[in-house]
Structures are given as C-alpha cells and as structure tokens.
Structure 1
Amino acid sequence: MQQGPNLIALADNIARAWAGLGQAAMLRQLAVIVCALVVGWFIQQAWDRRLLQLDPEPLNSARRFGQHGAKRVLFPLSALLLVVAARGVLARYQPVHLLDLAVPLLTSLAVIRFVVFTLRQAIGRTSWLGALERFVSALAWSVVALYILGWLPEVIEGLDSMSVTLGGQKLSAWTLMKGLTMVLLTLLVAMWLAGVLERRMAGATGLDASVRLVLTRVMRALLILVAFLVALPMVGINLTTLSVFGGALGVGLGFGMQKIAANYVSGFIILIDRSLRIGNLISVGAERGVVKEITTRYTVIRAPNGIESIVPNEVLVSSVVQNETFSDTQVALPLVFQVSYDADLDRALAILVAVAGTQPRVLADPAPKAFLTGFGDNGINLRLGCWIADPQEGTLAITSEINMEVWRRFKAAGIGIPYPQREVRLLPPLSPAPAVEGLAEPV
C-alpha cells in the first residue's frame, strides 16, 4: 500500500512532536491538552450536578434525550473546543503538531459516545447491547485510524472494486457497507421515534391497554419499514431489485409460513377486538388459567398450579374460549353435598348457607343459596351455590375451607353423610331340573 499525503503528513507530525518533546513549544501543547481535559471534566461534573437539581427523569422524551445525550458528549466536546481554540492561538507563534493529532481523536470520542448513547436509547437494555456497543466502538476507531494514517481512500477503492451484478445493477462491497450503515442509522432513528411514541401511548389513559399495544407495535413496524425503504435509495440501491425477494417471501407465506402468518393476524384480531385481556380467567381446550401476556404470535396462560402454557393465537381465534371474567370477575362456585335420608333437611340447608356466609371471599350479593337437587341411591343430594369475585386466586382453597366447616357443623348437628349402601341377598341353591321322558340320562 502506497503512502498517501495524509500518511506522510501524519508521520511528519509525529516525528516533529517526538523530536520536540522536550521543547517549550511541545510542553505548552501538552499543557493545553491536559488543561482542556481537566476543564472538560469539571464542566461535565457541573452539568451532572445541575441535572440532579432538575427533574432527573423529565416526562418530555426529547428533553430527557437531550439532557442525557449532553451528559455523554459534554466532556469530549468541551475539551475539543478548548483544544481547537488554543490551536488557533498557538499556531500564530509555534508549530502545533500535537494539537493537530488531538483534534481528530477528541472528535472521534465525542461521536462514538453519542452513537453508543443513541444505541442504548433506541434499543434499550438487552443482553446483546454490550457486544453491539463494543463492535460499533471498534469499527469507529478503525475508521478513524485509517483516516489518520491516510489509508481510508485506498481501502474504500478496494472495497468498491469487489462487486457483483444483480438485476442489472452493480453492487459492490462498499455500496453494501454504505447501505448497511444508512439502514442502521435510519433504524436507530426509527426505533428512537417508536420509543417516544410508545411512552406517549402509555400515558394515554383514555385508550384500552390492548389498543395501545396494537398501535405501538403497528407504528414501530411502519417506522422500521419506512426507515428501510428510505435508506436503500440513499446509497443507490434500486428498490426494484428487491422484487425477487418479495416474490420469494410471498411464496413462503403461501406455503410454509401459513401458520405463522395466521398466528400474527389472529394476534392483531385479539388485541383489537379486546375479546381477551391480560388478567382474564379463560379455558380453551384442556388449558385453564389466567392470561399473563398477549403478543402478536402467542398468548401465555398461567394455570393455578403455576404452569404457563404458550397458546398460538390462531387456536384462540378458531376455538371456543370460555372467558370467566369477560364482563365481570364474578363466577359461581357450585358445591355438592349428600346427607342421609333421616337427616333434618331444613337444618342442613341452613348450615350450608351459614358456612358460605362466613367465608370472606364469598360475595354477599348475590347471596349464597342451598338447594335440594335430588334423591340418590345412598342419600339426599344438596347443592350450595355461592359467588366469588377473585377466581384468578384459585378455587381449591376456598372449596376446602367450606367443605371442612360443613363437615364440622354437620357432625355437631348430628347430620350424617351416608356411606355407599349395597343390599346383598343370599338365595338358596337351585334344585336340579326334573328329567324329561325320551331324553337320555346325563352320563
């Protein structure tokens, strides 16, 4: 690789800086850099203290982004401005080779810190955010190093020479890299705008939670699509070249991705028509539990035993779903008992109603009622009907408490709970049948 003029100038600056390291001019430049860094640090500390006095988390998203973004870049920008100002003054009286090296480094530091901050704001806290930040930082410092060394134009030329022809259009490695960079930048802006809109929608108390969720996801998807479509023409990629990929995607949706597409469509239907809400107690097929999460592809149902089932949204749309808390949370709790035939039925029915009234979870309106439902083989069948308002808390505990108290009161009142009864008759042995004339005697 041939040495360009930038590399020669850089080498000349480094050589002169090294040769004059002990000279007064070089010491003045070092003092300027150190003072600029110290002053920049104090400015950032003052800004941090100012933020603590203000609202640390303002409701305005743009204001919050500006405050925290300034916190990230205030130190390198302050030092950069001081170095540039000092370089302009000292350049009249002495060489400023060391300051010439400090300017691009401080500029790169400010840009990288701002890009990393924007990544955090747009993407949020994810497990792969740290790796992405390190990759972006390494890539940015590599570009800065190539620029300072003067190799960046030759690297760009080499990447541009590696190209393929697709759909009558030439696509080079450099074009793809520019396209990827523009797509990432526009996606960052789109995701940041989506985050701002999402926070605004979260504060819209007049909208149902499901509607807010649908609008947020639709707006995020549209912003990402618009960012993608805007970025590609900016780097010279014709959108018609993507038609082949669109056709392939359509074929995939038509054959292998029918279920996936149906789940996503069903998810939007569920979220829009609000037939299911988070917290509803539902039963679908063999699954019964509380709806914990609704996404565009599946719904999470938590059973009373703690097991969470992931049910595809297509199943919820195409099957019969029993929503026990659709209009309200009141559900009936039927309990069946049996007493002996010689029991005092009026006393037994009164005990059932009284026991239900002592339970704090049982509603007073509708009031508990007891009924005689039939006469069984072993005893008289009774039924206790009561209502509770928190079925999501489970019914096993309250059923057990009512049964235990009914057992105690029945026992104290002398009301028996019958055992299964069977009548067994012992019949005499059958006498042998008389012989019929004309038939041979049995051997």
Structure 2
Amino acid sequence: MEPETQSAGAQIQTLFDKLLAFGNSLMMPSRLTQMGIMIGLLIVAYLVKLYFGPKFRDWMHGLTGRPKWQLRILVMLHRRMRLIAFVILIWSVIAFMRHGLGLFPSRTYLLAIVGTISLTWLLIVFAARFIHNNFLRRMVTWGAWIYATLYFLNLTTAAEQLLDQVAVDLGGLHLSLLVVIKGLVVTALLFTLARLISSGTTKRIRGNKEISPSMQVLMVKFMQVILYGAAFFIGLKAVGFDLTGLAVLSGAIGIGLGFGLQKVVSNLVSGIIILLDKSIKPGDVISLGDTFGWINTLGARYASVVTRNGKEFLIPNEDLITNQVVNWSHTNDFVRLDIHFGTAYSDDPHLVRKLACDAAASVDRVLAMRPPVCHIVGFGDSSVDYILRFWITDPTGGLTNIRGNVFLALWDTFKENDISIPFPQREVKLLEEPAK
C-alpha cells in the first residue's frame, strides 16, 4: 500500500505544480490585462441578463399557439442568456483586438482559452437538451463541462493518472476510479443508443397495421430487453468485469430470486402468455370483478385498465390468467344489452312490445342492422314483465349511459301513448279494538 500512496501523492503534487505554474503565468502584465477584460465582460453579461431577461420572459408569456419544441428552446435561451452574452462579448473583443488593433494572438491567449471553454460549455448545454431525463442531463452536462475544461487547460493526462491511482485490486481485477468513470460513460452512451434505436423501431412496429396489437407489444418488449441487456453487459465488459464469473453468480442469484419473487415471475410469464394467445390486447373492453374499462397498455408485470370515470387500474397479469375475465371485444365488437321493465295489466302487450322496440331503435348507438326485440317474461304481482334486448358495437363508449338513454326513450314513449308503469301499492286497514 505504501508505493501506491506515494504514487498517488506524486500525481497530486504534479497536478498541483501544473496549476501553480498556470497561476504564476497569470501574473504577467498582459495576462492581468486580459483577466481584467474578462471580469468586465462578466459584469456586462450579468447586466445584459438583468435588463433583457425580464423583457424576454414577458415576451415569451405572450406567445400562443407555438410548438412545444420552440418554447423549450426559448426557455433554454432565457436561462443561458448570461453565458450566451459572455460568449458573444468575449469573441467580439478577441476579434477586435486581433484585427482591429493588430495585436498578436499571444496577447489574447488567455481570452481565447476562456472563450473556447465558454463556447464549448454553451454547445454542451444545447446538445444535452436531447436527454429527456433531468438527472441524467445534469450529470452529462457537468461531466462534459469538467472534461472540456481539463482538455483545453492540458490537464487531462494528469487527471487521468491521478484517477487511475485511486483503485482497489479484486483478484485479477484492477478497479480504479478512472475505469469506473469510463465504464459509466460507455454504459450511458450505449443506453442512449439503445433508447434511440428502441424508440425508432417501436414507432415502425406500432405503425405496421399488419401486426396485431398484442404481437406489437411482445416484439417491442423483446427488443427492449435485448438492447438494454446488451448495453449493460458491454458496459460491464468495458469496466473489466469477467462475464464468465458473472454468469455463475447470476445463476445463483436467479435461484434465490425464483423463491423470493414467485409472484413477480408469475406475472412476467402470465404477461408473455397473454401476448402470445392474444386473449387480451390493447383497446379491448373487459370486465374483471367490479372493474369495467378498456385495456390501455400491457406491461411486463401488469395491465393498465382505464374506466369510464378516468380511474386507471393496474391489474396484475396473473389475475387476468387465473380469474374469469369478460372480454367484450375479443372476437367482435357486437354487444347485446338487456333491459327489464313492466307495465300495467290494462295495457295492450302487443302495443307495449312495438313501442318498446321503436323507443330503443330511436337511440343513436343502438344498431339498426340488428333491430331490438321485446318479449314477455312473466306475469308479476302488479305488472306484466318484459325484457328488451338491443345491440351496440361500441362498448368503449360505456354501457350504463346507453341503458340510461334507452330507459329515458321508453319513459317518453310510454308517456305519449298512455302506457302506465305500475309500482307496488299497499293498503293499510286499521281494525277497531273490540269492546270489553
């Protein structure tokens, strides 16, 4: 451990000496002048942001009907207005000093370094906007800023040597901080590439009408597992892990997970079965217990069911396999609904049946190609009992509302034709108390 400690200390001393030498070079009169110019430009850039920032923000608030990508660019320009102003100012000063005053490039050496670093920082900010995850975008931005600064200050070699000394040896594996950082960078790039390929391929798969919705979901999930799995293992290989040893370890871990995560594995397998047998697919209208809605998405562990009132239920895939599920649109979209009602014994049943069928047919969603039918189902205590049956093809539009519309049409039709809907009536008779 002693040689490694001395080596790390030597690397720190070398890096410190370079920084000290760079600091001493700033004491030259020309460098002090350039530092003064930079401080002045920073103040001017701050004043530009202070004056134009509120005006620019108010102008953005007045914009309407613009695409989201344009608004995001404007917001980014507002947030980075100080850096943008500083980059424009410093390169304008450099151009004036070199071409207007005829100074040698050595007189603007420090300004050129800071201007190059600032411009690179600005380009990194714009490039990082393609990363949607906020945390990942910040990590990439700060990492790229640090690397660019070290690169233009010629400190990358010293920094790499220092990071390589901070390490631990695990058998034949030399795991240093430099290797870990390189592995994270490689893994992040591979995951980004996998995400871009996955999103592009997913759009093409879902746009192909010849592939069934369930098969589309299965193909997308399989492709994502392959891409992200390959990115992960290639990232481990870049760090220096021996994947043969990892295979033995993963086998042992898999046995333990098989006992501890039986429900999770069962849901995963159930999801694959659902996708293969096509019993349930996105867009189907299902009933499971008290839950009625349509399948929004089929995930690896659960299915998302959206009800008419906007609630989203996450139903485990295992429940869709083991429980009784009513799929209203499995083979076709035709759904028959039944309504029970009764009329008085004094009303003509032939007229009641005709009026009930006409009332149901007048509702918009009721199919005319399969006309409603009405039958007598019994003679009750106070009414003649009927059943009215009609068909619809849009169960996603709801069942309760169409029943309500048919009931309302029956009410209006019966009122117009003096058909009465009886209700139970009871007559209470009070007996006189016998005389004593």
Is the Cα–Cα contact under 8 Å of residues 276 and 326 in structure 1 kept in the other structure? yes
Show the counterpart of 1:315.
Answer: 319
For the residues of structure 2 that align with 1:145 and 1:172, how far apart are their CA atoms?
22
Q: Which amino acid aligns with 2:263?
A: K
For the residues of structure 2 that align with 1:175 and 1:229, how far apart are their CA atoms?
15
Q: 2:164 pairs with 146, 150, 160, which one?
A: 160
Q: 2:389 pairs with 385, 389, 392, which one?
A: 385
Is the Cα–Cα contact under 8 Å of residues 305 and 314 in structure 2 kept in the other structure? yes
Is the Cα–Cα contact under 8 Å of residues 371 and 390 in structure 2 kept in the other structure? yes
Gap runs ≥5 in structure 2: 1-11, 42-66, 68-86, 431-436
For the residues of structure 2 that align with 1:221 and 1:203, how far apart are their CA atoms?
21
Deviation digits for residues 133-177 of structure 1, max 9, x if unmatched? 233222232334445566654544444334334454332333222
| 1:165-184 superposed matches below 5 A | 165-166=169-170, 168-184=172-188
Q: Which moved more, 1:275-284 or 1:99-108?
A: 99-108
Show the counterpart of 1:279.
Answer: 283
Q: Which amino acid aligns with 2:193?
A: V
Percent same amino acid among aligned pairs? 31
Shift in alpha-carbon separation, 1:397–1:339, aligned structure 2, 3 A: same
Shift of the alpha carbon at 1:265?
A: 2.6
Q: Which moved more, 1:129-138 or 1:322-331?
A: 129-138
For the residues of structure 2 that align with 1:134 and 1:17, how far apart are their CA atoms?
38
Gap runs ≥5 in structure 1: 31-55, 57-75, 427-443
Show the counterpart of 1:14.
Answer: 26
Show the counterpart of 1:400.
Answer: 404
Deviation digits for residues 313-371 of structure 1, max 9, x if unmatched? 11112222111122222211211122333431111111111211221221111111111
Shift of the alpha carbon at 1:117?
A: 4.6
Show the counterpart of 1:44.
Answer: none
Shift of the alpha carbon at 1:277?
A: 2.8
For the residues of structure 1 that align with 2:402 and 2:108, how far apart are their CA atoms?
84
Show the counterpart of 2:128.
Answer: 116
Q: Which amino acid aligns with 1:258?
A: Q
2:101 equivalent to 1:97: no
Show the counterpart of 1:40.
Answer: none
Larger Rg computed on CA atoms = 1
Show the counterpart of 2:272.
Answer: 268
Q: Which moved more, 1:398-407 or 1:104-113?
A: 104-113
| 1:224-373 superposed matches below 5 A | 224-243=228-247, 245-373=249-377
Shift in alpha-carbon separation, 1:241–1:105, aligned structure 2, 3 A: farther
Show the counterpart of 1:2.
Answer: 13
Is the Cα–Cα contact under 8 Å of residues 360 and 410 in structure 2 kept in the other structure? no
Shift of the alpha carbon at 1:116?
A: 1.5
| 1:402-441 superposed matches below 5 A | 402-420=406-424
Q: Which moved more, 1:275-284 or 1:395-404?
A: 395-404
Is the Cα–Cα contact under 8 Å of residues 14 and 158 in structure 2 kept in the other structure? no
Instruction: Report the secondary structure of 2:13's partner residue.
Output: coil
For the residues of structure 1 that align with 2:105 and 2:226, how far apart are their CA atoms?
57
Q: What's the RMSD between the two structures over aligned residues?
A: 4.1
Q: Which moved more, 1:129-138 or 1:104-113?
A: 104-113
For the residues of structure 1 that align with 2:349 and 2:425, how far apart are their CA atoms?
20
Shift of the alpha carbon at 1:252?
A: 4.0
For the residues of structure 2 that align with 1:416 and 1:162, how far apart are their CA atoms?
92
Shift in alpha-carbon separation, 1:249–1:408, aligned structure 2, 3 A: same
Shift in alpha-carbon separation, 1:220–1:91, aligned structure 2, 3 A: farther
Deviation digits for residues 213-266 of structure 1, max 9, x if unmatched? 332232122111112222332343222343465135403431221211222232
Shift of the alpha carbon at 1:104?
A: 5.7
Deviation digits for residues 260-302 of structure 1, max 9, x if unmatched? 1222232233334332233322112232222223222211222
Shift in alpha-carbon separation, 1:94–1:154, aligned structure 2, 3 A: closer
| 1:188-207 superposed matches below 5 A | 188-207=192-211
Is the Cα–Cα contact under 8 Å of residues 10 and 148 in structure 1 kept in the other structure? no
Shift in alpha-carbon separation, 1:231–1:417, aligned structure 2, 3 A: closer
For the residues of structure 2 that align with 1:106 and 1:424, how far apart are their CA atoms?
95
Shift of the alpha carbon at 1:108?
A: 4.2
